[in-house]
Structure 1
């Protein structure tokens, strides 16, 4: 293409280096074309930096930006030299595309798709509040803040990359496609997200997301089991109450049955002629017999 898809400022990321303190750098992207442009940020040191956001959409004739945060470091780099690099990929996407529509295939170099790539170097500067003082002729001399640019020499096998001196924005032979951070986009939070890796370095944020997801699933399962346990306890209490009522009714029926049996036995005892009636009949029979047979 005759012109670049995105104008990127600055061309070099500068961080004020202080031990155990974070430092941030703002990168601005300008889209002067009439197309929607998607971008993605990669780095050679994903554990060292956080990028928010690391993917996005720049609408036609508009601007967007992202923030790169260098995590607090415990050791001073030798001679304030930094070998880290960033890679910004950009590609034209259909009109109306949103961040949620960006997938790993968006930046795949297939079917002649043009993926514009630009590398950014990293420079470290000393904080103005803590200059380096060197004694000169008995007096303190204040050196200006040192600004060490990224060396172009090849890094040792233990380094994160092996990149020749950059000659053009499209020359990215030293970079390899890293794994996409699509899982990070599923977490809509304000927490900074580590940039993607370059040279095959894996993204640690994917593991953190998986742990958080597993934790949420475990919590939901525990809540579900707790609710089921409470329901079971209620059912058991209800069954115990019904059993108690059933026992009471059974006892009452037994008592009523015993009362009925006693009543029936009493009636049986009272069956036949009363003794007084029999005596009267006998007396009358004797008197009648006496009169009939004097």
Structure 2
């Protein structure tokens, strides 16, 4: 979860402390604390397991409308916790102060002194780096599948385009053949008519010659 927990005085983000847990290795998580008021707000961080965590700064003052970051470091642990479950809790207290003095009075967060002290509780979550790696590999695999599908679709589209062009060329070729055949037939008919006409003229001319020739009897 990456949301923010909002009180009247401050906002804290994220709303839980998440650590990548590996034995014999430290892990860090940063908290962003934002002052929602126009006054100086002091804060203090507490935890149920102070020996396991290193918090800097664990106390401080945030200027009006300003923000600061708190780094929480999980010290190196020998073994994985059972089922990767963690029962540790953090408590962030906040209250309005008069100035941004470096040293806070001991009773700054003491409600018995009549101060209005707000509290924000944060839980701790452990995550295995292998699960993050698996998630990354899964995301990469999904991305590869998407890219492969897109490439396959492009190849199919190109194949269909080539087939359409081939069919179009075949149709144009058939049309050209039919046109050529029609032109050849027309040429043959004209030539045939000319030949027939010439033969007719020659036959008529010969017939006239025969009819006009004097008889020998």
2:112 alignment partner, SS class: coil
Residues 36-81 of structure 1 show CA distances to partners (whole Å, capped at 9, x for unaligned) of: 0000000000000000010000000101111000000001100000
Number of the residue aligned with 2:80: 76
Name the counterpart of 2:124: 122
Inter-partner Cα distance in structure 2 for 1:114 and 1:126? 39
- What is the match of residue 19 of structure 1? 23
TM-score (norm 1): 0.42
Measure the CA separation in 1 of the matches of 2:66 and 2:115: 23
Aligned to 1:103: 105
Bigger fraction of residues in helix: 2
Q: Do residues 37 (structure 1) and 41 (structure 2) align?
A: yes
Aligned length: 132
4+ aligned runs moved over 4 Å, structure 1: 128-132
> Does the 8 Å CA contact 2:63/2:100 hold for their aligned counterparts?
no
Q: Assess, with a 3 A threshold, how the Cα gap between structure 1 residues 104 and 143 changes in structure 2: closer, same or farther.
A: farther
Distance 1:80 1:143, change over 3 A: farther
CA distance in 2 between counterparts of 1:6 and 1:124 reads 25
Give unpaired runs (5+ residues) of structure 1: 133-141, 145-294
Gaps of 5+ in 2: 1-5, 140-217
Please give the per-residue CA displacement for 1:171-210, whole angstroms capped at 9, x wherever unaligned. Answer: xxxxxxxxxxxxxxxxxxxxxxxxxxxxxxxxxxxxxxxx
1:97 shift after superposition:
2.6
Question: What secondary structure, in the 3-state scheme, does the structure 1 residue paired with 2:83 have?
Answer: helix
- Cα distance in 1 between the residues matched to 2:91 and 2:54: 14
What TM-score, normalized to structure 2?
0.57
Alpha-carbon distance between aligned partners in 1 of 2:22 and 2:132, rounded to the nearest angstrom: 9
1:106-255 aligned within 5 A: 106-128=108-130
- Alpha-carbon distance change, 3 to 81 in structure 1, aligned in 2, over 3 angstroms: closer
Aligned residues of 1:55 and 1:99 also touching (Cα < 8 A): no
Change beyond 3 A, Cα 1:37–1:82: same
Cα shift readout 1:95-140 (whole Å, capped 9, x = no counterpart): x33232x1321111124321000100000111148857xxxxxxxx
